[in-house]
Amino acid sequence: MTAGSTPLWRYAAGRLAQAVPLLLGVVVVNFLLISLAPGDPVATLLGEYPAPPEYVAQLRREFGLDQPAPVRLALYAWNVARGELGFSFAYRLPVAALVVGRLGNTFLLMVTALTLAALVGVGLGVTAARRRGSGLDTAATGISLAGYSIPDFWLSQLLVLLFAVFLGWLPAQGIRSVREQYTGMAAVLDVARHLILPAAALSFRYMALISRLTRASMLEAMSQDFILAARARGLPERLVLLQHGLRNAALPVVTVIGYNFAFVLAGSALVETVFGWPGVGRLLYDAILQRDTPVLLGVLLMVSATVVVVNLLTDLLYAALDPRVRY
Amino acid sequence: MSTRIVAVLLVTLLATGIAAATPAEPQRGGSAVVAIGGDPETLNLGITTGYAVGAVAASIFSGLVWIDARGEIQPGLATSWTTSPDGLIYAFELRRGVKWHDGRAFSAQDVKFTMEQVTGLYHGRFRPAYLNFESITVTSPQSLKITLKRPYAPLLRLLTVFDCPILPRHVYQGEDITRHSRNNDPVGTGPFKFREWVRGDRLVLERNDAYWDPVYLDRLIFRIIPGAALRVTALEVGEVDMVADFYLPKTDVDRLKRNPNVRLRLGQPIPSMGFMFINARRAPLDNPKVRRALALAINRVQIVTQAMGNLARPARGPFGDGFKWAHSPESDYNRLYPYNVERANALLDEAGLPRGAGGERPVRLRMVYDAARAPIAASAAIIRDNLRAVGITVDLQPMDRAVMIERIYTRPDYELTVQTFTSGGDPAIGYHRIYASAAPGVPFVNATGYSNPEVDALLNRAAEVPERAARGKIYAQVSKILAADLPTLMLFDEIGVDAARATLRGVWIGAEARDRWDAVWVQK
């Protein structure tokens, strides 16, 4: 397949081109919203004592806050077009470096959480569908209900209490130990230990969602004629279930994972704050409190771009899973 | 008291005395982990009063002096000093043989440079002191002389690392100080050197072997834990070794008291207070009678017990009782404004605000406060309930800190607010700003619109007179006016609480938990 001329390539390029005005819209709307919100970044930065007025004025100039909002917006848009995301007020560092550094940690958390949610959710859903009406089905429904209802920041704190405080099995805070200086494999395992609780907390809600959806899709798929045909051909039940049932039931599940990516990212802000996980969600949360506009816009822009790409990948995966779908 | 109780007390005292006295030999090595709530905005302590910056950078830089746990001034980079009888000339002898972390020699030129080019221009607490400076003369590489235009009583207290950290001239001279790259990777003379900063996660410092006193810890690590309750959890499970007062949620103190692995220091040598600004620009709060009625109607004891968990004392006067010498019995709130609903009602009737048919008076006040601070929110709720009892309606308006600052100080658009200020070790450093005339727009100063030339003059004099007895008399005078005018109602003197793992020894030598980490060691 030569990538240059396939319709799929053209479809993907078209979708990406559509993303440009979307991202521009994200920048403009967010910039305006932030400009309208009360709160002065300089005042929140300089401690609890009155800062010298000359210094405050100097900082306002440096941050460009002495310019009217339309001028600042135009300047910002021009910089973004040149690939410049600006300078953080609160960290006094380039935004791009700050965000990219944090994005990796967040992806680690999100991918782990979503994988966990998918594996457990699909497993639960398939089992529940297979044994419809059994105790196991009821239990799976109960777990899903809990997953929907429990706010993840509260669940996070419960997990900390149980596994870090009472049992002492897992660390309560951060992404790696600070006292010990691990290297190599020990460092990887150290991060993995720190990852378990926040990933579990973040995944719970999506696990519930995926298990419900898998159960429903499976029940529908399993009642189709092709399943009857497969069984009639004498295929073993495991194959019927996984190759014919699950493959057809998987479509809505893939959609849910793909399109919930943005929500997982949003949910990670709270989970990251509870676990002291140095991710982009927490960066966003801190930036809101500190009115750190460049960081806020930079994070929103990068997150929007990521969501666009993930949604595109979801669509492409859809095509791979369902031969009827063609772009 | 029965003899049995006395005996038990004696035994307890002896036991704690022995426990504190026995394993006194400090051990070298290991690390300590300190919880902080967020990343510092810089590590240049000379350009900010931000708490997190001081928490980390106080171990990287040094001041000419430091304040010990009793509140006394002790020699730091300055080994001795003299003051002229008129209080105008301060002469300092500096410590010899001190090296910057990059190996260059420290000298008096660094001190002059720091005061003239950095802290004198940018530091919120040092700048007001520097405005009194006539000149700084370097008399030798190891001595210098500061000449003042007028005496400034709290000057020595403003030479600590938190107020005037000495910065390296050879790094900063001729460069943009507030945006210098070394602000994130600083060179100091302090007991620890900068090593690593992973934003959002941790900051690591390592021992400076060239420091003039022994430094025991190999590494001093600051762990960023944004959730207040989680900081306490991390302390309980041993992931961190210290949570200082600023970052410790007071609701958890009772639980920590019962934890044998945790030690607490209650009460701090540097007083700080909680108070209610009353916006006197707005009727009917422009009437002192109404303000006095509020003082009588608000139950300060209830605020202390319920909102502050008894980690405070009900305020006794316009400057609290943290500085005994500045407290005037004549203006004692307990005498002037004991909790008395009847008298409050009578005053409000007198002020022409009679109760309507429903028992409510024609007064509706907005109470604006920082939603993130639980004790402040609880205090605000108690005040609302207290004032409802005298027929005044209060609307609670919690908001995030950035918006609160704008509503209280920049605009100002509020009627009541609860705030806390630290004294900085002297009423002239931290408390005068509560009452002195101030133009609107500046955060963390008088936001009430109250402006009284007599009060301003007295406060200025109180800052100039060096002797405490004489200053006390001036504070008595100004307290009398302030207690009568009541532009601000003081609510409580805070009792700070620092918490540390019991294995951490040598802590709290300084007035602040952030200070003197060179003396800290880990019991293995």
Instruction: List, as one string, the DSSP characters of B9-34.
Output: HHHHHHHHHHHHHSS-------EEEE
Residue B13 has pLDDT above 50, yes or no: no
Which of A36, A42, A49, A175 is the best substitution to test chain B (most B C-beta atoms within 10 A)?
Answer: A49
Q: Considering the entire predicted model, what is its pTM?
A: 0.88
CA distances from A52 to A57, A113, B157 (A): 9, 47, 19
Beta strands in B51-165 (DSSP E): 65-67, 73-75, 78-83, 89-94, 133-140, 143-148
d(CA A212, CA A202): 17
Q: Which residues of A touch B42 (CB under 8 A)?
A: 92
Q: Specify burial of residue B153 (Cβ count, 10 A radius: 0-12, 13-18, 19+).
A: buried
The whole-number pLDDT of residue B1 equals 42
Q: Are B61 and B166 in contact (CB under 8 A)?
A: yes
Q: What is the least distance, in Å, from the CA of A187 to any CA of chain B?
A: 16
The whole-number pLDDT of residue A2 equals 41
Q: Which residues of B touch A178 (CB under 8 A)?
A: 33, 202, 204, 221, 223
Q: Residue A172: which of B121, B198, B237 has the nearest Cβ?
A: B237
Question: What strands, in cross-sheet order, belong to the sheet with B416-422?
Answer: B312-314, B488-494, B272-278, B416-422, B364-370, B393-399
Each residue of B269-288: pLDDT tens digit?
889 999 999 999 999 999 99
Confidence of residue B303 (pLDDT cuts 50, 70, 90): very high
Each residue of B53-77: pLDDT tens digit?
999 999 999 999 999 999 899 999 9
Residue B289 has pLDDT above 50, yes or no: yes
The whole-number pLDDT of residue B401 equals 86
Contacts of B427 (CB under 8 A, 6+ apart): B319, B323, B326, B462, B475
Q: What is the least distance, in Å, from the CA of A293 to any CA of chain B?
A: 13
Q: Look at A49 and B424 and tell me if their CB atoms are within 8 Å.
A: yes
Each residue of A36-72: pLDDT tens digit?
888 888 887 877 888 888 888 888 888 888 888 888 8
Average pLDDT over residues B229-240: 93
User: At B394, phi and psi to the nearest 5?
Assistant: -120, 125
Confidence of residue A175 (pLDDT cuts 50, 70, 90): very high
Residue B10 has pLDDT above 70, yes or no: no
Residue B190 has pLDDT above 60, yes or no: yes
Q: What is the least distance, in Å, from the CA of A25 to any CA of chain B?
A: 26
The whole-number pLDDT of residue B184 equals 93
The whole-number pLDDT of residue B524 equals 83
User: At B91, phi and psi to the nearest 5?
Assistant: -115, 130
Which of B36, B205, B239, B368 is the best substitution to test chain A (most A C-beta atoms within 10 A)?
Answer: B239
Burial B435-450 (b: 16+ CB within 10 A, else e): bbebeeebbbbbbbbb
Q: Are A99 and A80 in contact (CB under 8 A)?
A: no
Residue B7 has pLDDT above 80, yes or no: no
Q: What is the least distance, in Å, from the CA of B406 to any CA of chain A?
A: 6
C-alpha B175, offset from chain centre: 31
Report the length, in residues, of chain A: 327
d(CA B230, CA A273): 10
Give the mean pLDDT of chain B.
Answer: 92
Average pLDDT over residues B284-305: 96
Q: Look at B402 and A291 and tell me if their CB atoms are within 8 Å.
A: yes
Instruction: Give the pairing type, strands B393-399 and B497-501.
Output: unpaired
The whole-number pLDDT of residue B88 equals 95
Q: Are B272 and B496 in contact (CB under 8 A)?
A: yes
Residue B491 host element (H or E): strand B488-494
The whole-number pLDDT of residue B15 equals 43
B387: tokens are 């004032």
Cα angle at B502 between B499 and B507, to 5 degrees?
65
Q: What is the least distance, in Å, from the CA of B444 to any CA of chain A?
A: 5
Q: Look at B121 and A178 and tell me if their CB atoms are within 8 Å.
A: no
Strand, helix or coil for residue A20: helix
Residue B244 has pLDDT above 70, yes or no: yes
The whole-number pLDDT of residue A303 equals 83
Average pLDDT over residues B377-399: 96
Contacts of A91 (CB under 8 A, 6+ apart): A98, A292, A295, B39, B41, B199
Each residue of B330-360: pLDDT tens digit?
999 999 999 999 999 999 999 999 999 889 9
Confidence of residue A326 (pLDDT cuts 50, 70, 90): low
Contacts of A6 (CB under 8 A, 6+ apart): none
Residue A31 vs residue B500, higher pLDDT? B500
Residue-by-residue DSSP string for B389-454: TTT-EEEEEEE-HHHHHIIIIIS---SEEEEEEE-TTSHHHHTHHHHS---TT-TTS--S----HH
Give the mean pLDDT of chain A.
Answer: 85
d(CA A121, CA A113): 11
B428: tokens are 């002239």
Strand, helix or coil for residue B97: coil
Which of A34, A42, A44, A48 is the best substitution to test chain B (most B C-beta atoms within 10 A)?
Answer: A48
User: At B491, phi and psi to the nearest 5?
Assistant: -105, -45
Q: Are B119 and B127 in contact (CB under 8 A)?
A: yes
Q: Look at B50 and A47 and tell me if their CB atoms are within 8 Å.
A: yes
Beta strands in B141-215 (DSSP E): 143-148, 192-198, 202-207
C-alpha B59, offset from chain centre: 18
Average pLDDT over residues A205-220: 88
Q: Look at B237 and A157 and tell me if their CB atoms are within 8 Å.
A: no
Q: Are B291 and B383 in contact (CB under 8 A)?
A: no
d(CA B243, CA B160): 22
Contacts of B161 (CB under 8 A, 6+ apart): B45, B54, B57, B58, B61, B62, B63, B66, B76, B190, B515
Residue-by-residue DSSP string for A237-254: HHHIIIIIIIHHHHHHHH
Q: Which of A8-12, A231-235, B487-491 has the highest mean pLDDT?
A: B487-491
Q: Look at B237 and A178 and tell me if their CB atoms are within 8 Å.
A: no
Residue B19 has pLDDT above 50, yes or no: no
User: At B179, phi and psi to the nearest 5?
Assistant: -115, 20
Each residue of A115-145: pLDDT tens digit?
999 899 988 888 888 888 888 888 888 888 8
d(CA B492, CA B215): 38
Residue B16 has pLDDT above 50, yes or no: no
Q: Which residues of A touch B421 (CB under 8 A)?
A: 48
Q: Are A210 and A117 in contact (CB under 8 A)?
A: yes
The whole-number pLDDT of residue B9 equals 46
Confidence of residue A89 (pLDDT cuts 50, 70, 90): confident
Each residue of A103-118: pLDDT tens digit?
899 989 999 999 999 8
A277: tokens are 């996980």
Each residue of B101-158: pLDDT tens digit?
999 999 999 999 999 999 999 999 999 999 999 999 999 999 999 999 999 989 999 9
| Closest by Cα among B51, B501, B422 to B231 | B501
A170: tokens are 């897992």
Q: Which residues of A touch B430 (CB under 8 A)?
A: 49
Contacts of B395 (CB under 8 A, 6+ apart): B364, B365, B366, B367
Q: Are A29 and B34 in contact (CB under 8 A)?
A: no
Q: What is the least distance, in Å, from the CA of B331 to any CA of chain A?
A: 27
